[in-house]
Structure 1
Amino acid sequence: MLVHRDVYPEFAERLVARAQQIRIGDPSYPTTDIGLISTAPQFTRVAEILSSAVADGARVSP
């Protein structure tokens, strides 16, 4: 994602606010927005994506 530096502060603030509203939980519940990584292949794929992003210069927060 590329964000112009002139709008970055407002963008970051709004992105954080929205991310804090995401409900993580059991994907079978209608109130859940995003489910957990539940299989080894899913975990491996997510780890590969993160590793690639970091190699390309991304910063990942814990």
Structure 2
Amino acid sequence: MRLTVFWDRMRQQFGESYAESVAKDHVLAELGGRTIEQALADGEPAKKVWHAVVATFDVPQHLH
């Protein structure tokens, strides 16, 4: 998954401004206690990070 697709899905799920806030502030257990931003900066694949988002939040099926 490309980062552009990842961020598009984040914006669809959380809205334009809240997506960035979630990525910066919400710690996900599925990412080893890191935020989305930290996991991406550490080199985690966007697809893996997106799967963690799906596992944590109520994401509609069409965005999986």
- Does the pair score TM above 0.5? no
- TM-score bracket, normalised by the shorter chain, equals under 0.3
User: Which structure is larger by alpha-carbon Rg, 1 or 2?
Assistant: 1
Higher relative contact order (CA 8 A, sep 6+): 2
Which of the two has greater helix per residue? 2
TM-score (norm 1): 0.21
TM-score (norm 2): 0.21
Which of the two has greater strand per residue? 2
